[in-house]
Amino acid sequence: MTGTALLVAALAGCSTDKDTMASWAKNGGEKHVAAVAADLKTLIEASDQSVADPAIASRCTHVLNDVKAAKAFRDPPDKSINNSWQETLDRVQTASSHCLHNVKAGEGSSLVEAIDAQSSFRDFLGRFELVLTPT
């Protein structure tokens, strides 16, 4: 995703202060952001019911594990960005939980939920990049 590429580029010259967003990203947050970006692609692909993929359940479980790891990592230090990040994680968790449930019922995942999660993620990236961009 281009947002992740912009994020990596923005981090190149940032501070290492433990209380900054740049530090949060550089010290593990960016890894979780990149995982969620990949997970959103997985959820969108899983919603395509015309593609019968027997690995969808394991892929949705992988997404849930990524969300669990991201939630266990320390929160972003900026309150607004943290709220946006938590909303994104909650939406990705909901979409992947429903994906697992639907796969067991012989259905695909919800495209609407995946798109909602992606929208939250884009909002998060926009806020995050705004904070990281020097004024």
Cα 40 to Cα 72: distance, rounded to the nearest angstrom = 19
**Which runs of consecutive H residues, i.e. helices, occur in 26-55?**
30-46
Query: Tens of pLDDT along 61-108?
Result: 999 999 999 999 999 999 999 999 999 999 999 999 988 888 777 766
Contacts (Cβ under 8 Å, ≥6 apart) of 122 = 3
Model confidence, pTM: 0.80
Helix then strand count (H, E) for the chain reads 6, 0
Give dist(CA 119, CA 125) in Å, integer: 10
Would the pLDDT of 31 be above 70? yes
| Cβ within 8 Å of residue 115, ≥6 positions away | 44
